Chain A
Amino acid sequence: MADYPHFTQYTSVPEAVTAFCQLARDHGLNVGLQENLDALSMAQLAPLQDRVSFGYALKAICCCSEEERAQFDTLYEWFWGWEKGALKAKTIFKNQSNLQKKAPASLVLMGIGNSQEGKEEEAKNVSGANRIERLRKTDFSKIEEIDSELLEEIALKLWKQMSLRLKRKMKASTSKGQLNLRQIIRSSINTGGDPIRLLRKNKKPRKQRLIVLLDVSGSMDKYSFFLLRFICALRVHFEKVEAFLFSTNLIRITEYLSASNLASTLSVLSAKADNWSSGTKIGACFREFNEQHAKRMLNGQSTVIILSDGLDTGEPEELFEEVQKIRRRTKRLIWLNPLKGMRGYEPTQRGMSAALPAVDIFKSAHNLDSILELEKFLLDV
């Protein structure tokens, strides 16, 4: 392990403070030039010269979330502690997602420990933008444990951007709605104060329902974790997302998605979904959906996304019938199949080929880029 700096190595306070800021930055805290300057001017304030207040003040400058505060404490003890390197043997967690990854549920979901083959050629350690580009194009099932952490980070960022873009586009219309007095006055000056041109401001249109059905059967193991995270990301920015898991039976998980902490969400889900990683009866699950939920949730304006590989052990006729029923109640039915990303894949399994005629959009969902492509279909959701 590399030798970390310690305050005794520096001769003046400003030097030490700057060195600490660098250390914090290297460990993922959001400490830029401005924070560094703040810390320096803080160090000059006379009443903050004692150890305790100095620590508190530095913390307020360097941290911007609850999680970061714990990390800061370790770094602080490390750098400013009396005993040099007392804590060096301990590894510092790099960020929250690392912690979440250690939760058993997410490990199960990621299929780690199941199979190791087929990863050698794909996963070389490249750094920087190159690595990110590559990760975006890598099949989820071929991503190594180390990379998955980075991928999660990128994915969350990109999905957030995506939903923000979607939100903005929704507000563009201006043809109807409440009168916009501000604009009217402005334009009425041209006509000597008579408000002739009426300008309006429109409310954000009410968002339509988005319903997501995620397959968590054994064959989807490698993908279901990432796809579930994707659903969580959708949930943050679309108010009306309904989410279901299915394999041999159907579980509604909408309420669990609302928790901001994904790790706890996942453990709740895996406790609830005792059929995780088992066989698939897509047709039967869809019938359950149609019987219990469809009437309430589908109003002809909704978009339904099915995330499944279509490997079905039930009757293809039943599947077709049920998919058809869903189709009739929706504006658009999107089927995302991770297998479609494989070269030479044809939807020839019985289930998939049976369902295909009823599906509007059939796309792959095997890597990050393919999921981001979904944006254009969600535009008018």
Chain B
Amino acid sequence: MTDTRSIQKEFDQLGYVLDEELATILFLTLHLQKPLLLEGPPGVGKTEVANVLAKALDTELIRLQCYEGLDVNAAVYEWNYQKQLLSIKLQEGSKKSEAEKESHIFGEDFLLQRPLLRAITAKKSPVLLIDEIDRADEEFEAFLLELLSAFQISIPEMGTIKATHKPLVILTSNRTRELSDALKRRCLYHWVAYPDLDRELRIVQKHLPELNQQLSENLVRIVQELRERKLNKIPGIAETLDWVNALVALQATQPNADDLARSLGCLLKSADDIEMIKAGGLEELLVPSE
């Protein structure tokens, strides 16, 4: 992956339609070895970027899903307490000094590696995906700072572990809250928006190459129109694909209002939205408006 074109091509082969801007930024991420922060609404393929990147580089993908209350024990490392207790018991009779005992049970054998530690001790640089970082507490962001700038982790009992191979870090956020400036400053930033008609069409064709051109164009146009409405939950690309798949499964080559009504649940995930769109008239959706 020596330039933006080749990145685009590589991603294309793996089924991800990459626009030029994101390709440029990925290229930059690879060369500056800085973490990349992808922000954007849900369902626009942020996580998928990391998946495909790992495949393209033929390396391991290490994923950390963030949630409220995520702490160091679940994200970085934890001591194997049972093993430690056993070991202390076994050493009871021995003549070892306290310091020796302590250094024994805080050795690498007793360390359980969690995703972040695993990422910096890996043999070949992996892709580290820190998913939905906005869900984690602000305190957790602070833990990440050391990792993201110096690629090292401090374990009080053992000292600092430095990365032998820098992982490629991709952070995603749905922007449910603003991330701290300190974290943002350590990352390259890219806003992933909903795809435009042209790109979404290419994505649909990529996934369903046998679908006829006119039908896919029509369906994508409907999705694009729906995104303009005031929905509670705007459908993402995954929903578009689900929906198109559903219509194919229903064998609706010329979808009518009835087919639409039956399959709308693939696209809209809120009862209010479905009701609103149905009230607005499904026939009108099928006819392109000028």
CB neighbours of A61 from chain B (8 A): 28, 188
State whether the Cβ of B200 lies closer than 8 Å to any Cβ in chain A. Answer: no
Closest to B184 in A: A64
CB neighbours of A53 from chain B (8 A): 4, 20, 24, 27
CB neighbours of A193 from chain B (8 A): 85, 88-89, 91-92
CB-defined interface of A133-175 with B at 8 Å, one 1/0 digit per residue? Answer: 0000000000000000000000000000000100000000000
- Cβ of A185 and Cβ of B185 under 8 Å apart? no
- Cβ of B20 and Cβ of A30 under 8 Å apart? no
- Cβ of A57 and Cβ of B28 under 8 Å apart? yes
State whether the Cβ of A300 lies closer than 8 Å to any Cβ in chain B. Answer: no
- Cβ of B184 and Cβ of A30 under 8 Å apart? yes
Range of interface residues on A (Cβ < 8 Å): 35 or more
- Cβ of A64 and Cβ of B84 under 8 Å apart? no
Closest to B81 in A: A181
State whether the Cβ of B12 lies closer than 8 Å to any Cβ in chain A. Answer: no
- Cβ of B185 and Cβ of A64 under 8 Å apart? yes
Number of contacts between A and B (CB, 8 Å)?
Answer: 96
Majority DSSP secondary structure for residues of B touching A? helix
The CA-CA distance from A188 to B37 in the complex, in Å, is: 43
Within the complex, the shortest CB–CB distance from A334 to chain B, in Å, comes to 26
CB neighbours of A188 from chain B (8 A): 85, 88
Closest to A61 in B: B188
B27-43 interface with A by 8 A CB criterion: 27-28, 31-32, 34, 36-37, 39
The CA-CA distance from A307 to B121 in the complex, in Å, is: 55
CB neighbours of B176 from chain A (8 A): 260
Closest to B71 in A: A201
The CA-CA distance from A35 to B92 in the complex, in Å, is: 55
| Most chain B Cβ neighbours within 10 Å, of A45, A60, A181, A236 | A60
Closest to B190 in A: A60
Which residue of A57, A65, A164 is within 8 Å of B24 (Cβ)? A57
State whether the Cβ of B98 lies closer than 8 Å to any Cβ in chain A. Answer: yes
- Cβ of A192 and Cβ of B92 under 8 Å apart? yes
A57-B28, A63-B189, A193-B85 known; A47-B20 Cβ under 8 A: no
State whether the Cβ of B3 lies closer than 8 Å to any Cβ in chain A. Answer: yes
CB neighbours of A34 from chain B (8 A): 185
State whether the Cβ of A56 lies closer than 8 Å to any Cβ in chain B. Answer: yes
Which residue of A41, A57, A164 is within 8 Å of B138 (Cβ)? A164
CB-defined interface of B72-116 with A at 8 Å, one 1/0 digit per residue? Answer: 010000110100110011011000001001100100000000000
CB-defined interface of B34-71 with A at 8 Å, one 1/0 digit per residue? Answer: 10110100000000000000000000000000000000
Within the complex, the shortest CB–CB distance from B78 to chain A, in Å, comes to 8
Within the complex, the shortest CB–CB distance from A33 to chain B, in Å, comes to 11
CB neighbours of B21 from chain A (8 A): 56, 59
CB neighbours of B89 from chain A (8 A): 193
A45-B31, A47-B27, A48-B27 known; A190-B98 Cβ under 8 A: yes
CB-defined interface of A37-75 with B at 8 Å, one 1/0 digit per residue? Answer: 010011001111000110011011101111001000000
Q: 22 A–B contact pairs at CB < 8 A?
A: A38-B32, A45-B31, A46-B3, A47-B27, A52-B24, A53-B20, A53-B24, A56-B21, A56-B24, A57-B27, A60-B25, A60-B28, A60-B36, A64-B37, A64-B185, A64-B187, A65-B178, A66-B191, A182-B73, A189-B88, A189-B98, A193-B91
Other than the given A42-B31, A53-B20, 15 more pairs (CB < 8 A) read: A32-B185, A38-B34, A45-B28, A52-B20, A56-B20, A60-B28, A60-B188, A64-B37, A64-B187, A64-B189, A65-B39, A185-B81, A185-B105, A192-B88, A195-B85
